[in-house]
Amino acid sequence: MKATFPHFGYDTYALKTFVEDLGAEVVLGPPASKRTVELGVEHSPELICMPFKITLGNLIEAMEQGADTLLMAAGARKCRFGYYHYLQEQALARLGMRYKLVPVAQYSPYAFVFQLIPSVFHVSPVRVVRAIAIMLEKSLLTQEFRVLLNRKRAVDFREAERLKKPALEMVEQARSVKAIRRARRGLDRMFSCNGSAAPGHNGRKPGLAVGLVGEIYMMIEQFANQEIEKELGRLGVEVLFERSLHHHLLHLLRLDRSYFRSQRLARRYLRECPGGEAMRTVGESIHFVERKKVDGLVHIFPFTCMPENIALEALQQLSEDSGVPVLSLSFDEHTSRTGLLTRLEAFVDLLKRKKRVQGSSRN
């Protein structure tokens, strides 16, 4: 079996380790690029959301490299996500390639551990549980890496970018719980050594912090969001986030406290769940504003995403109530990079001005 799955930001490493631990060879396509998007767009329904197009492009590129078993996340999020694997299978069938698409339903841990994964990979549930435990640990590592990288970028952008490649190699190579813990210590050392720009240890704090919220794929796949965390870091802003594969896995195991907190907080603005991840977006935003005291919120989502468009209304109300500025950015294949950077710069200028005014009125 040559298994593949769509890229998922830094968490691709955790997913790859999971599939390899189940005994399969992993054949990933190249990291997403302009060609990936073009392939996806060419074979997708016109108005489908962007994650569908990019993940379809990923699958096609992996098949070109020899992958024959396609693992695609599936499940009901009361939105188009529930139909992704079905529509992608139809699109791939039209290409006339030989493959097997496995919809990886996530929302029943029991069925996942005892039925789905053992039947696809011909392994025992015990092996599945062991692979999940390692994936949980590794996804925590990728999440921590992202936190360290974002902090470092805000205080020393060039050094952060220099450290990124060796740090990612360390993450990729950690394939056991012991190795992951060793990599964690290595990352801590790496991002806090050299006597420069150690996050939180050397007195140089980033000037501004924003909370990044939005649809999960856009939050995690850095190509899809045009590396927004990097661009904000370049402007001296520390990006806080909560959405990650690790939190998603904990949520699927019913162990994610932040999920329950978000659901509770979001009810101030959304009485009903409008589908997708809107409740989480709103709940996280309230948490960032009230507990983390962020200077601003950046909300990212695919252009045609109905749940996030509803969340957008709630965030505007939150902004009015709290005085914390919100920048909402929708993405599709036509999103201009120049336009995005201009909007980020203008937003960061606004936050800086606001902070200066607040500072001088306190003195």
Q: Which is nearer to ligand SF4, 69 or 330 (CB)?
A: 330
* Pairing state between β 237-241 and 296-302: unpaired
Q: Alpha-carbon distance 184 to 192, whole Å?
A: 12
- Amino acid, res. 35: R
Out of 81, 191, 331, 347, point to the residue binding ligand SF4 (CB under 6 A): 81
Q: Among 102-110, 176-184, 188-196, 301-309, which window interacts with ligand SF4 (CB under 6 A)?
A: 301-309
- Is 51 a binding residue for ligand SF4 by CB under 6 A? The answer is yes
Out of 302, 315, 319, 328, point to the residue binding ligand SF4 (CB under 6 A): 302
Structure tokens at 180: 């992951």
- Is 80 a binding residue for ligand SF4 by CB under 6 A? The answer is yes
Closest approach of ligand SF4 to the CB of residue 6, in Å = 13
Out of 305, 311, 318, 344, point to the residue binding ligand SF4 (CB under 6 A): 305
Closest approach of ligand SF4 to the CB of residue 49, in Å = 3
Closest approach of ligand SF4 to the CB of residue 4, in Å = 20
Out of 214, 276, 283, 296, point to the residue binding ligand SF4 (CB under 6 A): 276
Q: Among 76-84, 100-108, 292-300, 322-330, which window interacts with ligand SF4 (CB under 6 A)?
A: 76-84
Give the list of residues 6+ apart from residue 128 with CB closer than 8 angstroms, or none: 22, 112, 113, 117, 118, 121
Closest approach of ligand SF4 to the CB of residue 220, in Å = 12
Closest approach of ligand SF4 to the CB of residue 283, in Å = 15
Q: Alpha-carbon distance 301 to 354, whole Å?
A: 26
Closest approach of ligand SF4 to the CB of residue 85, in Å = 12
Closest approach of ligand SF4 to the CB of residue 284, in Å = 15
Positive or negative CA dihedral for 69, 71, 75, 80? negative
Helices 177-192 and 125-155 meet at what angle, rounded to 10?
0
- Amino acid, res. 291: R
Out of 37, 39, 49, 344, point to the residue binding ligand SF4 (CB under 6 A): 49
Beta-strand ranges (E) seen in the chain are 2-4, 25-26, 69-74, 100-105, 208-214, 237-241, 296-302, 326-331
Find the Cα–Cα–Cα–Cα dihedral 116, 214, 149, 188, rounded to 10°.
Answer: -50
- Is 79 a binding residue for ligand SF4 by CB under 6 A? The answer is yes
Structure tokens at 110: 């029991």
Q: Alpha-carbon distance 202 to 196, whole Å?
A: 8
- Is 85 a binding residue for ligand SF4 by CB under 6 A? The answer is no
Q: Count interface residues toward ligand SF4 (CB under 6 A).
A: 14
Q: Among 17-25, 79-87, 313-321, 336-344, which window interacts with ligand SF4 (CB under 6 A)?
A: 79-87
Give the list of residues 6+ apart from residue 351 with CB closer than 8 angstroms, or none: 208, 210, 237, 295, 296, 325
- Amino acid, res. 114: F
- Is 274 a binding residue for ligand SF4 by CB under 6 A? The answer is no
Full 3-state SS string of 134-158: HHHHHHHHHHHHHHHHHHHHHHCHH
Q: Which is nearer to ligand SF4, 15 or 74 (CB)?
A: 74
Q: Alpha-carbon distance 57 to 302, whole Å?
A: 16
Q: Among 131-139, 188-196, 242-250, 304-312, which window interacts with ligand SF4 (CB under 6 A)?
A: 304-312
- Is 220 a binding residue for ligand SF4 by CB under 6 A? The answer is no
- Is 307 a binding residue for ligand SF4 by CB under 6 A? The answer is yes
Which H helix or E strand runs over 191? Answer: helix 177-192
Q: Which is nearer to ligand SF4, 230 or 280 (CB)?
A: 280
List residues near ligand SF4 by CB under 6 A.
Answer: 49, 51, 77, 79-81, 215, 276-277, 302, 305-308
